[in-house]
């Protein structure tokens, strides 16, 4: 595995690969790898000739008072996990290279980013789309892989790629969970044992939503109320939002037709967690 830390080197490698007719797959990450990240890399390995994983804790997607400074980092562990998963190139740019002095260009997807995560993190998606657009320009992948864990992010990126004619195929991968159902996240390690137990209510509440859907409930309001009741039993968990929306457009819906997404965010102590499940038959 090659470690590349300058944009210039990454660009010239990509150019050569493209000239040689190789298919480049990119998995963008902020590091501190868990099985969820590795599943994206495993899929990337299968889909292309050259697998590039970027590791960059992107400051522009963190709001004021969020956890940018304390976001977990462990480069040597990440390096060996990536190597063991068959990554060809680990791209690790520095902050100064990505956002040099005088930097002032941002990519913004509008309506889609106003609700759900965007309501609680108003500058978040602007940072995400900007860094992903930059990574696409630097790595020039044919295919990029993202997790459904960050469902709104996946939809926003698909929209950006379509609107700006970026010509990158976007693949979404299912959420990987711990054995007890908690969605894997680099932030889970902040949880105390008691908080970890309380955090399970998020997955339990989504299971409840799924059961209701399976038994024929199609009214979003009633499902959302039931989900909130499951979470609110846990004193230590504060809900930011629980929403049911069209899975493709993220528009609000009056009634669930063939499929929808139920997504939520909540704080367990100081740790903010998100999770979701797709409601569809079969």
Looking at the Cβ atoms of 143 and 183, the one nearer to ligand AMP is 183
Neighbours of 163 (CB within 10 A): 11
If binding means CB under 6 A, how many residues of this protein chain bind ligand AMP? 17
186 scored as a contact of ligand AMP (CB under 6 A): yes
Looking at the Cβ atoms of 184 and 265, the one nearer to ligand AMP is 184
Residues serving a catalytic function are 37
Q: CB-based contacts of 160: which residues, under 8 Å, 6+ apart?
A: 107, 109, 129, 132, 133, 166
116 scored as a contact of ligand AMP (CB under 6 A): no
Report the residue from 147, 159, 237, 276 that binds ligand AMP according to the rule CB under 6 A: 147
- What is the C-alpha to C-alpha distance for residues 24 and 87, in angstroms, rounded to an integer? 12
Report the residue from 13, 30, 92, 265 that binds ligand AMP according to the rule CB under 6 A: 30
- What is the C-alpha to C-alpha distance for residues 145 and 41, in angstroms, rounded to an integer? 8
155 scored as a contact of ligand AMP (CB under 6 A): no
29 scored as a contact of ligand AMP (CB under 6 A): yes
Query: Which of the 8 DSSP states describes residue 68?
Result: T
The rounded Cα 150 to chain-centroid distance in angstroms is 3
For residue 20, the minimal CB distance to ligand AMP (Å) is: 27
- Residue by residue, what is the 3-state secondary structure of 82-105? HHHCCCCEEECCCHHHHCCCCCCC
Order of all β-strands in the sheet with 24-29: 2-4, 89-91, 50-55, 24-29, 143-147, 169-173
Looking at the Cβ atoms of 186 and 201, the one nearer to ligand AMP is 186
Neighbours of 236 (CB within 10 A): 15
Looking at the Cβ atoms of 24 and 175, the one nearer to ligand AMP is 175
Q: CB-based contacts of 121: which residues, under 8 Å, 6+ apart?
A: 63, 66
Near ligand AMP in 43-62, by CB under 6 A: none
Looking at the Cβ atoms of 42 and 217, the one nearer to ligand AMP is 42
Report the residue from 17, 51, 109, 176 that binds ligand AMP according to the rule CB under 6 A: 176
Give me the residues that bind ligand AMP (CB under 6 A), please.
Answer: 29-30, 36-37, 39-40, 146-147, 149-150, 173, 175-176, 183-186
């Amino acid at each position: 595995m090659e470690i590349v830390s300058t944009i210039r080197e990454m660009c010239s490698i990509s150019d050569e690969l493209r000239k040689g007719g190789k298919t480049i797959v990119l998995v963008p990450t902020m590091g501190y790898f868990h099985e969820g990240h590795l599943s994206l890399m495993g899929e990337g390995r299968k889909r292309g000739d050259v697998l590039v994983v970027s590791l960059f804790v992107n400051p522009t997607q963190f709001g004021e008072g969020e956890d940018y400074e304390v976001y977990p980092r462990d480069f040597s562990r990440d390096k060996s996990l990536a190597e063991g998963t068959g990554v060809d190139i680990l791209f690790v740019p520095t902050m100064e290279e990505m956002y040099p002095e005088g930097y002032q260009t941002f990519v913004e997807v509008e309506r889609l980013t106003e609700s759900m995560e965007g309501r609680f993190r108003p500058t978040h998606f602007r940072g995400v789309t900007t860094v992903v657009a930059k990574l696409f320009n630097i790595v020039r992948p044919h295919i990029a892989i993202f997790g459904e864990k960050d469902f709104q992010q996946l939809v926003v990126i698909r929209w950006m790629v379509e609107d700006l004619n970026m010509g990158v195929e976007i693949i979404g991968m299912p959420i990987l969970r711990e054995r007890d159902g908690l969605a894997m996240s680099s932030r889970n390690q902040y949880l105390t044992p008691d908080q970890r137990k309380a955090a399970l209510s998020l997955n339990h509440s989504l299971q409840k939503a799924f059961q209701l859907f399976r038994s024929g409930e199609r009214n979003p309001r009633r499902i959302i109320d039931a989900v909130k009741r499951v979470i609110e039993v846990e004193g230590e968990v504060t809900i930011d939002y629980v929403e049911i929306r069209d899975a493709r457009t993220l528009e609000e819906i009056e009634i669930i037709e063939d499929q929808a997404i139920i997504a939520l965010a909540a704080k367990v102590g100081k740790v903010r967690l998100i999770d979701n499940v797709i409601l569809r038959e079969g």
